[in-house]
A and B are shown apart, each in its own frame.
Chain A
Amino acid sequence: KNQVEQSPQSLIILEGKNCTLQCNYTVSPFSNLRWYKQDTGRGPVSLTIMTFSENTKSNGRYTATLDADTKQSSLHITASQLSDSASYICVVSETQTGANNLFFGTGTRLTVIP
């Protein structure tokens, strides 16, 4: 069964600190993996899209890694800011075409405190 599991469920960190969010998946055959940031009550915003051949991808203070062999991805946030408080959602795409072949995780709720 195709699933995306994220951990931790929630995380609280001090402003300025780094953190790493995890995403494990069983989706197969794999096409790509995306990380989205979702502010409370808003729509998800894309951070990165990684294909099978990409191990690391950065977007400012966000760095995503992908290990397609172990089916794991992480999102590392450097020097966190209060505005980083949001849910971070991992989405994995199957190779079969179709929006129904995008599998969403439940997200990690990050709270950055001063």
Chain B
Amino acid sequence: EPEVTQTPSHQVTQMGQEVILRCVPISNHLYFYWYRQILGQKVEFLVSFYNNEISEKSEIFDDQFSVERPDGSNFTLKIRSTKLEDSAMYFCASSKQGPNTGELFFGEGSRLTVL
């Protein structure tokens, strides 16, 4: 069964360093998303991407964050200068239809620890 894959599964970084999290969405999906989940808290929306551009972003997704689809398969989330509060599990998701009607398929997550 097709699945969303994410790398790395766990990354430890120093505060102020740049981090890139990678995702390979399901191949015939058109909508891509990044969510994060701070330990013990609810899943929070960061950004959605459609037709090679950001379609929506939350207040969390400030200038320190960026997304890119560098080729036909990868979808990346970059955090330019990490802060302690960026420590969280980051989930990539994709859907065939838009987010309000389409089923979202989540990856296994990338755990980011900022020291």
Asked whether A and B interact, the reply is yes
A: which residues have CB within 8 A of B?
Answer: 31-32, 34, 36, 41-46, 49, 89, 93-102, 104-107
Question: Which of A42, A89, A94 meets B43, CB within 8 Å?
Answer: A89
User: Quick check: A99 and B42 within 8 Å, CB to CB?
Assistant: no
Cβ distance A90 to chain B, nearest Cβ, rounded Å: 10
User: Quick check: A97 and B111 within 8 Å, CB to CB?
Assistant: no
B: which residues have CB within 8 A of A?
Answer: 4, 31, 33, 41-45, 48, 55-58, 89, 91, 93, 98-101, 103-109, 111
Given A99-B45, A102-B45, A104-B44, answer yes or no on A43-B106 (Cβ-Cβ < 8 Å). Answer: yes
Given A43-B109, A45-B106, A107-B42, answer yes or no on A101-B100 (Cβ-Cβ < 8 Å). Answer: yes
User: Quick check: A94 and B108 within 8 Å, CB to CB?
Assistant: no
Most buried by A among B43, B48, B56, B98: B43
Given A31-B100, A98-B56, A99-B56, answer yes or no on A104-B108 (Cβ-Cβ < 8 Å). Answer: no
User: Quick check: B91 and A43 within 8 Å, CB to CB?
Assistant: yes
User: Quick check: B100 and A102 within 8 Å, CB to CB?
Assistant: yes
Cβ distance B9 to chain A, nearest Cβ, rounded Å: 9
- Tell me the complex Cα distance, A91–B45, Å: 12
B48 neighbours in A (Cβ, 8 Å): 98-100
